[in-house]
């Protein structure tokens, strides 16, 4: 169990060093929380709280705001989320995390943030802001991958990986879901239904909302880009299939009259005059060549070749 106090910075303290009047942040495991929950939160349904969640959300009760964070892995958002829970009341904030994910964020806040007017609202702003601070760079990497795919599609005879495009589309979809859920959570904080934050403290949540909404807008643009690249790839495949179909049509059409002639003379009637003529075979060969040349010229003229 780890204890922090929100002062001019986020200070790590022991349980004995917790000072009344300073807002506390406590990090504990599920097991540690379950051992204390009945004493501190007798009305809390712990089974409902720890039910398998795959979404970021907040729920308001009479004297508490509880919920879950489901944070996608930035390297592969479709992979298992970092899932942890929280309980917020007038006395402070409790995080329930078995992965030490929260601890890493708190350590980052401790080393990088100093507050002139410390408060729970300011801490929550920095907590969520730390989670999303590198997201723009992640989204830019998606866009760069798509630009590279688009360049490959514009180069003739260059291999294109539809599997890679589908992987990026999957990442984009998960990140869009994450930002939508995060927006809902911050809006719940901004409503301040339980009055945990003063009017002065509520300035942080609209700022945070705007940041997340910009990321949401960016990921939406990238999603549109993935659809454009997908359409380009489909068009490229269709063109390739059309060229193959055209080639087969040309070959079939060129050999059709030749097949007719060979079939005609393959009947071997006794009274066919050309059969006994010594120049019949060379003449027929010349006719075949002339037919092929004329048909190839025709197809070239109508731009099928």
Q: Which tens digits make up the pLDDT trace of 188-204?
A: 999 998 889 999 999 99
Q: Tell whether 144 and 270 lie within a shared domain.
A: no
Closest listed residue to residue 27, CA positions, set 112, 81, 91, 100: 100
Q: Which tens digits make up the pLDDT trace of 294-304?
A: 878 777 877 76
Mean pLDDT of 230-242: 77
Looking at residue 38, its pLDDT comes to 60
Q: Tell whether 143 and 287 lie within a shared domain.
A: no
Q: Which one-letter DSSP state was computed for residue 73?
A: P
Helix axes 135-154, 204-265, angle to 10 degrees: 20
Q: Tell whether 177 and 231 lie within a shared domain.
A: yes
Query: Is the pLDDT higher at 258 or at 208?
Result: 208
- Residues 106, 107, 113, 114: what is their CA dihedral angle, to the nearest 10 degrees? 90
Mean pLDDT of 237-255: 77
Q: Tell whether 226 and 274 lie within a shared domain.
A: no
Looking at residue 176, its pLDDT comes to 92
Q: Which tens digits make up the pLDDT trace of 275-291?
A: 677 777 787 778 888 88
Looking at residue 268, its pLDDT comes to 67
Terminal alpha carbon distance of the chain: 75
Q: Tell whether 51 and 159 lie within a shared domain.
A: yes
Q: Which H, E and C letters describe 223-246, residue by residue?
A: HHHHHHHHHHHHHHHHHHHHHHHH
Q: Tell whether 123 and 270 lie within a shared domain.
A: no
Looking at residue 252, its pLDDT comes to 83
Q: Tell whether 223 and 251 lie within a shared domain.
A: no
Looking at residue 152, its pLDDT comes to 80
Domain that holds residue 46: 2-238
What average pLDDT does the chain have? 84
Angle at 151 between CA 146 and CA 153, to 5 degrees: 95
- Domains held by the chain: number: 2
Q: Is 152 exposed, middle or buried (0-12, 13-18, 19+ CB in 10 A)?
A: middle
Q: Tell whether 252 and 222 lie within a shared domain.
A: no
Q: Which one-letter DSSP state was computed for residue 98?
A: S
Q: Tell whether 25 and 133 lie within a shared domain.
A: yes
Of the residues 220, 238, 256, the one at which a domain ends: 238
Mean pLDDT of 154-178: 80
pLDDT > 70 fraction of the chain, expressed in percent and rounded: 89
Q: Which tens digits make up the pLDDT trace of 103-147?
A: 999 999 999 999 988 999 999 999 999 999 999 999 999 999 888
């Amino acid at each position: 169990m780890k204890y922090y106090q929100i002062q001019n910075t986020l200070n790590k303290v022991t349980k004995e060093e917790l000072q009344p009047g300073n807002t506390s942040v406590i990090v504990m495991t599920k097991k540690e929380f379950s051992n204390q929950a009945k004493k501190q939160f007798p009305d809390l349904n712990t089974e409902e709280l720890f039910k398998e969640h795959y979404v970021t959300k907040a729920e308001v009760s009479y004297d508490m705001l509880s919920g879950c964070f489901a944070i996608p892995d930035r390297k592969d958002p479709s992979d298992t989320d970092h899932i942890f829970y929280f309980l917020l009341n007038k006395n402070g904030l409790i995080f329930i995390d078995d992965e030490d994910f929260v601890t890493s964020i708190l350590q980052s806040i401790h080393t990088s943030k100093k507050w002139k007017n410390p408060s729970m609202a300011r801490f929550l702003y920095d907590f969520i802001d730390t989670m999303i601070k590198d997201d723009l760079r992640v989204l830019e990497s998606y866009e760069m991958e798509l630009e590279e795919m688009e360049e490959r599609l514009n180069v003739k005879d260059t291999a294109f990986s539809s599997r890679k495009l589908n992987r990026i589309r999957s990442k984009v979809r998960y990140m869009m879901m994450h930002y939508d859920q995060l927006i809902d959570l911050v809006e719940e904080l901004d409503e301040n239904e339980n009055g945990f934050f003063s009017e002065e403290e509520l300035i942080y949540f609209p700022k945070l909302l705007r940041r997340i909404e910009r990321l949401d807008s960016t990921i939406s643009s990238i999603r549109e880009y993935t659809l454009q690249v997908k359409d380009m790839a489909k068009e490229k495949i269709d063109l390739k299939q059309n060229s193959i179909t055209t080639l087969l049509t040309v070959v079939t059409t060129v050999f059709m009259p030749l097949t007719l002639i060979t079939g005609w003379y393959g009947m071997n009637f006794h009274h066919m005059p050309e059969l006994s003529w010594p120049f019949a075979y060379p003449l027929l060969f010349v006719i075949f060549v002339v037919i092929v040349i004329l048909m190839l010229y025709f197809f070239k003229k109508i731009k099928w070749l």
